[in-house]
Amino acid sequence: MDQGLKSYRPPIMGTTHMVSAGHYLAASAGYRILEEGGNAVDAGVAAGIAINVTLPHATNFGGVAPIAIYEARSSSVVTVSGLGRWPRAANLEYFKENCDNQIPIGVLRTVIPSAPDAWLTALRLYGTMTFESVVAPALELAEKGFPVTSYLHDGLQAEEEDHEGGIALWPSTREIYMPNGHLPSVGEILVQSDLAKTFRRLIEAEKGAANLGREPAIQAARDRFYRGDIAAELVRFSEENGGLCTLEDFADFSVKIEPPEVGNFRNYTIYTCGPWCQGPVVAQVLQMLEDDDLAALGHNSLEYIHLVSQALNLAYSDRHAFYGDPDHVDVPIKGLLSKGYTRNRRGDIDPQNTFPSMADPGDPWKYQAGVGGKGPNLGTSPSSGPRLQDTSYVCVVDKWGNAFSATPSDPLGGSPIVPGLGIQMSSRGSQSWLDPDHPSSLQPWKRPRLTPNPAIAFKDGKLFMPFGTPGGDTQCTSMVQLFLNVTGFGMDPQQAIEQPRFAPWNFPNSFWPHAYNPGRLEIEGRIDTGVIGKLLGLGHDVKSLSDWSPAMGALSTIVVDHETGTLKGGADPRRDSYAIGR
């Protein structure tokens, strides 16, 4: 029997609604809202904000929250661009002259917080309940506290050790997450009173406008954050600590409702957020592999791991050369996701050799505009540095057939908690480059290229599975393997999630200072050692990880079985993920 099946848990089964999320209390929060009559968006927002409370080392209410939503009534998929923008005062010259050409931790790497707008906009436009109702579980968790899990404890400890002073560097952060001068132990109750007060202030704003109706009242809560006293407190803290954010930046910011990017794998359609995040990598890789007989290669065989890892290498190379904020960069996304282009890229894979360094980018412009033009020559050299893998994930399917998929994020150590608010300002500026030729270069009012990327897949035109994971640059890698395990090897979602995984790192890390390990391929210990030896023979720089490595992310998904009318949920044992349904 495969070693990955020894601890196999049957999938959570449901017939009406289901939640799978990165923390068991967040899954419970979403399920509570479903039981109260809420739809998938109501439940997803509730679970997402609960994740902001229960996984504070990996996500934050002042962070990011990209979202994908399927609305059954209109049979349409939309995305919410839950990603902040650099302040208008930020530019390359400032960081060159004042920061020694670095993006330092702290308020100087902060962008406008986007998660509050993303949660509230999704709720306002696609939900049915009030903010007060959906935030109730998170409010209780912040106000009354919850027991610290081993994963949270280890995460807080890693934040403390990995950031040149970490949590202890920020007095306002230390006050909450190092009570009495030490990290909370496993089982200790963690209370976040200031965060609870922020929730209550937003509820107060909503109640104050309740006479105008549900949607205007939610908008009032949103405006208090971006145009009211909360914005003023955030900007004042930024200014006092050398930051660049202004009240005008906050007042002008808003997330966007956008159509998804689309790829195909046989009779499946994969919807992702746009190239302001890395989401299209998932669609591009799957489309690259749709003509391969993957089952004949054998699951996690030498041939399978080599092929899939090399396809990922090619897509990550294109990500590096082309992806960026479409408001500032002309991204050839239609060319990248065209059938002709992905077939052409598939032809670049050598079954007998690996890419010893990052592959050259392709020429998607030829497939989009008819005129060739490869990506810029962005020189890369081997380098070391931290490799953050924060983030969490939540997906929901409700009894009406709606689906919600979101990837909230922002690590605790990147910037300080704002005193009195219990939140930080998003430190996602760390995913920008200071190279003016890079598509994700730092520019005023530009968004960094984001790693979090929720997805939703359809089969024969019908909702099939929302899916996603934390894990920084490994997110797309793990999502591709989950999808192929389910569709190519017939696994149920829990079995598919529990299979041992691999992850190429043959590209610069998305987080500053963009560490790069040419040819690197990381593999969980449960993969056969004979396969690992043969991978080394093909030129892969193999690094073995533990059997169940959190570095491989923490997948969650819900598969819709239209033949039986049931839902099947899976949640990753590598972290605190959990699925609930009935």
* First vs last C-alpha separation in the chain: 30
CB 551 within 8 A of CB 525: no
Q: What one-character DSSP code corresponds to residue 60?
A: -
CB 30 within 8 A of CB 394: yes
CB 29 within 8 A of CB 51: no
Of 282, 291, 297, nearest to 483 by C-alpha is: 282
Assess whether the previous peptide bond of 147 is cis (omega < 30° from 0). Answer: no
pLDDT at 5: 36
What mean pLDDT comes out for the span 430-439? Answer: 96
Whether 351 shows a pLDDT value over 70: the answer reads yes
389 - beta bridge partners? none
For residues 204 and 42, give the distance between their C-alpha atoms in angstroms, rounded to a whole number.
19
User: What is the per-residue pLDDT across 229-272, written as a single tens digit (0 to 9) for each?
Assistant: 999 999 999 999 999 999 999 999 999 999 999 999 999 999 99
Q: How confident is the model at residue 9 (pLDDT cuts 50, 70, 90)?
A: confident
pLDDT at 57: 93
**Residues composing the chain:** 582
The position carrying tokens 């997110």 is 475
In this structure, is the dihedral angle defined by the CA atoms of residues 143, 149, 152 and 153, taken in order, positive or negative? Answer: positive
Whether 165 shows a pLDDT value over 60: the answer reads no
For residues 449 and 248, give the distance between their C-alpha atoms in angstroms, rounded to a whole number.
23
> What is the crossing angle of helices 214-227 and 115-126, to 10°?
170
Q: How confident is the model at residue 2 (pLDDT cuts 50, 70, 90)?
A: very low
- Cα–Cα distances (Å) from 165 to 50, 153, 181, 414, in that order, read 27, 17, 14, 11
pLDDT at 3: 37
Lowest mean pLDDT among 258-262, 321-325, 410-414, 508-512: 410-414
Three-class secondary structure of residue 307 per DSSP? helix
User: What is the per-residue pLDDT across 411-424, written as a single tens digit (0 to 9) for each?
Assistant: 888 999 999 999 99
pLDDT at 4: 38
What mean pLDDT comes out for the span 137-159? Answer: 94
Q: What angle do CA 199, 60, 546 make, to 5 degrees?
A: 145
For residues 282 and 475, give the distance between their C-alpha atoms in angstroms, rounded to a whole number.
9
Average pLDDT value for the chain: 95
User: What is the per-residue pLDDT across 104-126, written as a single tens digit (0 to 9) for each?
Assistant: 999 999 999 999 999 999 999 99
CB atoms within 10 A of CB 545: 19
Q: How confident is the model at residue 169 (pLDDT cuts 50, 70, 90)?
A: confident
In this structure, is the dihedral angle defined by the CA atoms of residues 156, 161, 163 and 165, taken in order, positive or negative? Answer: positive
Whether 369 shows a pLDDT value over 60: the answer reads yes
Q: What is the pTM of this model?
A: 0.96
**What does the DSSP assignment read for 426-441?**
--GGGG-BS-TTSTTB
What mean pLDDT comes out for the span 307-324? Answer: 98
Domains, the chain, ordered by start: 29-62+80-254+409-426 (no CATH), 280-387+472-557 (1.10.246.130)
In this structure, is the dihedral angle defined by the CA atoms of residues 53, 57, 63 and 67, taken in order, positive or negative? Answer: negative
Q: What angle do CA 456, 460, 466 make, to 5 degrees?
A: 15
pLDDT at 387: 66
Of 529, 477, 485, nearest to 502 by C-alpha is: 477
